Structure 1
Amino acid sequence: MATNDVEETEQIIPNEEVEKVNEPVSYLFIVLFYFLGATCFIPNNFYVTANEYWMFKFRDPHIPFNNSDTQKTTLQKKFTAYTNMVGSIGMILFLFITFAISKKVSLQKRIVGGMFLLLVLFCITLLFVFVNTDSWQIGFFVIAVGISGLFSASTAVLLISLFQLSARFPPRCMAAQLAGQSVCGILSASIQVLTLLAAPTVKGTAGLYYAIATGVITATTIAYLTVSKKSEYLQNKLENDPEEEEEEEGEETSSKKFDIVKIKRVLRKLALILVSLTLCGVITQLLHPGLTALIESSGKGTNVWSDSYFLPVCVFLLFNTMEFIGRELSNHIQLIWLTAVVFCCDSVVRETDKLLMNCYMLEQTLPLRSKELEELDSLKELIKNKRPTLTAAGFFEIRRSTLLSLLSSTTTYFIVALQFNSL
């Protein structure tokens, strides 16, 4: 059993991946992937979050604009939800399209094309800031929602392409890309607060806000093109596709790499984690920013904080900050690994019980006083006497019920502490 596990591990983690971990990489590429990751998520964090600007664009043009007004028009209520819906559809659609064209369009063309499309769309968005759209608000609404869909499409292409590129580098580059995606939300919310302080008008604030986003994309695109032209190391990573090299090794190697039985086995083991990630992502997308952008302060209309700074600080900045903290804490807190260890220990005991049950079922099919039946009885006695019991230093047995016991004990003592506090 142990030998088979080692062989499967060697097939799953080839020697090339082990060498990649130890491969030296310059800090230049780590910084580059950091900015590439941030650039990839700029549309998600910059486009819709300029809430005051969009409320101004879709206001009732016959009434003077007042950000403290709680009565919103139909377009104001629907804009964030529509952009979120169209953006999600565009993201999912172009994720599949990117996978389909990955063999036909080179990685370099997809990355440069994705960043160039982001740059063009932000330039168009910046241009519309200074265009009077009061007489054709519905048409501008359709254009704005359509631009949101194009943003998501370009983000999907760029996201998949960047992950393919970072996978060819040491893991530190992919970690830098993921960190850039996390910090991008904090930077966008912070920049929004600073632009509100720097520019007193709605158009001035939105213009400065989108100009910064356009500048970041431009700088990242220029930096990437410069490095890709001058660095032979990056050129080699862009030209050499590991998947194509594997295909050239023959059909036998390819069949070993893509064993459907192993894939199903891995998916069964990761089913709980995958379902949890899916539910978390779907619920988050349903609530933020489609519904959270409509949150208003209870003191709206009484002070500047409630009118202008409440939404960018308490909704966008707080959300992105807590998301970043959660991602970073997951790298340090061992609760996830503790849960995984508990499930692994419980699986060992469950497999032993299952093996014993199979022995009882097989016993009914064998003839009496046969040699096979005697060997089966010996196996049953061995399982009963040597049944594995995994404990925490001998204090208690580790099973799935251990997690519920810990949770119930913690809750009980917490309630007791609250009762003492109320006395």
Structure 2
Amino acid sequence: MEREEAEQRLLEESDDEAVGIPVDRYNGVYIIFGILGLGSLLPWNFFITAKEYYLFKLRNLTLSTDDVDNPQMQTEMQTMFEGSVAVAATLPNVIFNFLTAMFTQRLPLKGRMIVSCLTVFVMFILTLSFVNINTDTWQLPFFVSTLVTVVILSAGSAVFTASLFGLAGTFPPRYMQAAVSGQAVGGLFAAVANLLTLLAGSTHLHSAFAYFTAATVVSFITLACYILLYYIKFSKFHLEINVTIQEDGFASSSADSISQRSSYVFNVLRKIWPEALAVFITFSVSLSCFPAISSSITSLHKDSSDLTGKYFTVIVCFLLFNLGDCVGRVVGGQFQWPKISQPSLLVVLSFLRVVFIPFLMLCNAQPRAHLPVVFTSDVYPVVMILLLGLTNGYLCTLCMMYGPKKVLLENAEFAGAAMSVCITVGLATGSLISLLLVKML
């Protein structure tokens, strides 16, 4: 263990291979981690972006073309779709993130990464195949099959994401930053794609075909990039160390009692709990506001132009938040404050973001029946949503970089996966809070 820590320290401090440890030439492995991060969320971002496609597939077939998109004439399946997808995605996401974290030493990393990535790839091929199939005569089976697909896709994505963060935790901190920045790029890319399809006036079917084709291609590229890590000297060096640690951990854990395993988990969590709490609070606050509250904010001049009407939500809510999130994660990789030695300050800053909740609720979020509109200018939601994204990305990056580096190398993978669990629970908590907040408007 001391030898491994010395090798890790030499690797982070050296700029050449004079000490016999490989270096990341041309930042190739750094870029691959960014692609892996992008691949962990981009397919799902494209899936939820295709909401209008699913509403079209589940439309009331007795209505005229002009009335199909009328929210007042939605079918029961259309009304239930968004909530059903949220439940079908959230539960397996939380469960499989937790299971992945708990079995990091018992299930080989390579198997977890490849099987989960293949699962996502196959699910998107299946989803893509439905786009050009007429499902009008079997809407209920299509609705059920979509929810089953979401469950399997979410489970596979959860295993891949938790394993990715566990893997990044065994590399120097900048590779964790690359992974989380890649995730933000995925969200930004999906938001831009959504805007472009609106500008092009694409049909629901054409947009969905483009989304799911891109998601399928990205899933394949993600799998190829992960396999490539085993052929690059720098990443191969770290992966071999990680495999050795896993094998030793598996051998020892086979004889471990439940109390010994519990002690191991407790000792790791005891060291990373401030970062875990901070990242939980960060995502709870963000999901309380985004997208439920922020996407309901309309321009005070919505009838004056397409920019303040048709494109306002796409640009101000989705594009600005994802842009801020992406920038915040990049900045977090270059500038770290609070420092790793100031975990309490990190928790305080995460908690202070709660102010975004009332601020955004007091903007022109519609419909509303209880609260007055206090911020009577479109500038307010623009600034607030941008800051919400910036602070989310920045604090998330710091937490994810610091957590795994506060434990021994042999525990770094579990620490990274545990941090992923906290993100997932934060996302679920924030989503539930948002339902209450929408009712309070």
Taking structure 1 as the reference length, what is the TM-score of the superposition? 0.64
CA distance in 2, matches of 1:326, 1:106: 33
Higher mean displacement: 323-332 or 299-308: 299-308
Shift of 1:131: 1.7
What amino acid sits opposite 2:166 in the alignment?
A: Q
Q: Which residue of 1 aligns with 2:359?
A: none
Question: What secondary structure sits across from 2:48 in the alignment?
Answer: coil
Summarize the Cα distance change of 1:169–1:274 in structure 2 as closer, same or farther, 3 Å threshold: closer
Summarize the Cα distance change of 1:342–1:60 in structure 2 as closer, same or farther, 3 Å threshold: closer
1:15 aligns with 2:17: no
Calculate percent identity across the aligned residue pairs: 27
1:202 aligns with 2:204: yes
What amino acid sits opposite 2:140 in the alignment?
A: I
CA distance in 2, matches of 1:147, 1:178: 25
Deviations 1:175-221 (A, max 9, x none): 21111011110011112222344463221121112212222222332
Higher mean displacement: 237-246 or 258-267: 258-267
Question: What secondary structure sits across from 2:72 in the alignment?
Answer: coil
Summarize the Cα distance change of 1:300–1:166 in structure 2 as closer, same or farther, 3 Å threshold: same
Q: Which residue of 2 aligns with 1:238?
A: 239
Summarize the Cα distance change of 1:235–1:324 in structure 2 as closer, same or farther, 3 Å threshold: closer
What amino acid sits opposite 1:44 in the alignment?
A: W
Which 5+ residue runs of structure 2 have no aligned equivalent?
14-20, 353-441
What amino acid sits opposite 1:281 in the alignment?
A: F
Question: What secondary structure sits across from 2:202 in the alignment?
Answer: coil
CA distance in 2, matches of 1:77, 1:163: 35
Deviations 1:69-125 (A, max 9, x none): 342523333322221222111111112332354344422222121221111111111
Q: Which residue of 1 aligns with 2:111?
A: 109
Question: What secondary structure sits across from 2:49 in the alignment?
Answer: coil
Taking structure 2 as the reference length, what is the TM-score of the superposition? 0.62
Shift of 1:39: 0.2
CA distance in 2, matches of 1:119, 1:68: 31
1:36–1:220 CA contact under 8 A, matched in 2: yes
CA distance in 2, matches of 1:280, 1:115: 27
Shift of 1:47: 0.6
Q: Which residue of 2 aligns with 1:157?
A: 159
Q: Which residue of 2 aligns with 1:139?
A: 141
CA distance in 1, matches of 2:189, 2:136: 31
Q: Which residue of 1 aligns with 2:325?
A: 323
Higher mean displacement: 26-35 or 138-147: 138-147
Q: Which residue of 2 aligns with 1:170?
A: 172
CA distance in 1, matches of 2:47, 2:103: 27
Q: Which residue of 1 aligns with 2:31?
A: 31
The one of 186, 189, 210 aligned to 2:188: 186
1:46–1:188 CA contact under 8 A, matched in 2: yes
Shift of 1:265: 5.6
Mark the structure with the bigger radius of gyration.
Answer: 1
Shift of 1:299: 8.2
CA distance in 1, matches of 2:301, 2:71: 11
What amino acid sits opposite 2:126 in the alignment?
A: I
Summarize the Cα distance change of 1:312–1:117 in structure 2 as closer, same or farther, 3 Å threshold: farther
1:76 aligns with 2:84: no
Q: Which residue of 2 aligns with 1:89?
A: 91
CA distance in 2, matches of 1:263, 1:108: 23
1:42–1:213 CA contact under 8 A, matched in 2: yes
1:45 aligns with 2:45: yes
The total of aligned residue pairs comes to: 331
Structure with bigger RCO (C-alpha 8 Å, 6+ apart): 2
Which 5+ residue runs of structure 1 have no aligned equivalent?
1-9, 345-399, 405-423
What amino acid sits opposite 1:148 in the alignment?
A: V
CA distance in 2, matches of 1:278, 1:115: 25
CA distance in 1, matches of 2:340, 2:269: 25
What amino acid sits opposite 2:30 in the alignment?
A: I
